[in-house]
């Protein structure tokens, strides 16, 4: 795992966006898997600005949503699909048919997940990931099997609580659909991105602590092309030893 540390959030955003533009220029038909949420918001805003200015194009790319909350109304703006659409896919020149997302209303969820994996096919060129306070990747909570595929999962209590900021109501999601760890770990290139002091502890454990399914993010360490991008706050504990 390459560790890239930045003095400021703006330098963190600038570098990740610059590398992403580079990947799209090198491979315009890049297949990308993306999270929604607070962490990537600044990166998406920068990519949308770049696309508007004509510095980058998503016209031949494919974007897959990493996960989706279940148990909400289809039009809930806190859903991954809508957040991603608002933050990025609807703000760049990505053709609508190239935006793939999970549908928790599908009456046959097992088949829906199989179809999603079939559409993912040979996997992703680039996987962008945030990290949960408990190390989750997408909705792969601690204990998720390393060979897991896209599936329905129950959210753990901390994840449910953290989701409160995405909803204007108190009907918080208890479950979701997520791309599995197998697909995440098989991606050609993985960027794990974290900002802010709240993530400092889990970043320290991910880099210096035990490699174990109890911290899914730690499983990225042996990946041949995984980079961890942290701003100064998220990387603040990296110079102290991790939990044994
Ligand atoms: P965020 O965290 O919601 O702070 O972006 C990422 C995550 O929980 O996966």
Q: What is the pLDDT of residues 126-139, one digit of tens each?
A: 999 999 999 999 99
Ligand 1 centroid from CA 140, angstroms: 12
Structure confidence at residue 244 as a pLDDT band (50, 70, 90): very low
Ligand 1 centroid from CA 138, angstroms: 8
Instruction: Decide if 170 is catalytic.
Output: no
The closest residue, in CA terms, to atom 3 on ligand 1 is: 37
Q: Exactly one of 46, 76, 125, 141 is catalytic; which is it?
A: 141
Mean pLDDT across 31-52: 97
Q: Exactly one of 46, 68, 82, 134 is catalytic; which is it?
A: 134
Mean pLDDT across 34-57: 97
Number of Cβ within 10 Å of residue 156's Cβ equals 17
Pocket test residue of 35, 69, 163, 202 for ligand 1, highest count of atoms within 8 A of CB: 35
Average pLDDT score, the chain: 96
Q: Tell me phi and psi for residue 31, to 5 degrees.
A: -105, 115
Q: What is the pLDDT of residues 46-83, one digit of tens each?
A: 999 999 999 999 999 999 999 999 999 999 999 999 99
Mean pLDDT across 98-127: 98
Between residues 207 and 242, which one has the greater pLDDT? 207
- Taking alpha carbons only, the member of 100, 101, 97, 92 closest to residue 46 is 92
Judge whether residue 143 has pLDDT over 50: yes
Ligand 1 proximal residues by C-beta, below 6 Å: 37-39, 130-132, 136
How confident is the model at residue 242, as a pLDDT? 54
Pocket test residue of 16, 37, 65, 138 for ligand 1, highest count of atoms within 8 A of CB: 37
Ligand 1 atom nearest to 137, measured from its CA = 9
Structure confidence at residue 240 as a pLDDT band (50, 70, 90): confident
Q: What is the pLDDT of residues 163-183, one digit of tens each?
A: 999 999 989 999 999 999 999
Instruction: Decide if 210 is catalytic.
Output: no
How confident is the model at residue 241, as a pLDDT? 61
Instruction: Decide if 134 is catalytic.
Output: yes
Q: What are 165's two structure tokens?
A: 């900021």
Mean pLDDT across 5-30: 98
């Amino acid at each position: 795992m390459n560790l890239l540390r930045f003095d400021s959030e703006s330098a963190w955003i600038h570098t990740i966006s610059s590398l992403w533009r580079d990947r799209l220029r090198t491979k315009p038909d890049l297949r990308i898997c993306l999270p929604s949420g607070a962490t990537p918001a600044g990166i998406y805003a920068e990519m949308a600005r770049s696309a508007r200015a004509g510095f980058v194009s998503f016209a031949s790319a494919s974007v897959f949503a990493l996960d989706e909350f279940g148990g909400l109304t289809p039009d809930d703006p806190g859903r991954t699909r809508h957040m991603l659409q608002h933050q990025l896919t609807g703000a760049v020149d990505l053709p609508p048919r190239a935006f793939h997302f999970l549908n928790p209303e599908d009456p046959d969820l097992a088949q829906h997940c199989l179809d999603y994996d079939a559409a993912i096919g040979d996997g992703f060129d680039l996987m962008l990931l945030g990290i949960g306070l408990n190390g989750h990747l997408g909705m792969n909570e601690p204990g998720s099997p390393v060979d897991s595929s896209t599936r329905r999962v129950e959210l753990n209590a901390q994840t449910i609580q953290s989701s409160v900021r995405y909803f204007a109501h108190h009907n918080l999601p208890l479950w979701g659909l997520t791309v599995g760890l197998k697909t995440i770990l098989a991606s050609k290139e993985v960027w794990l991105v974290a900002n802010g002091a709240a993530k400092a502890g889990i970043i320290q454990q991910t880099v210096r602590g035990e490699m174990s399914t109890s911290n899914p993010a730690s499983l990225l360490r042996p990946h041949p092309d995984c980079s961890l991008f942290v701003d100064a706050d998220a990387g603040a504990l990296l110079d102290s030893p991790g939990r044994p």
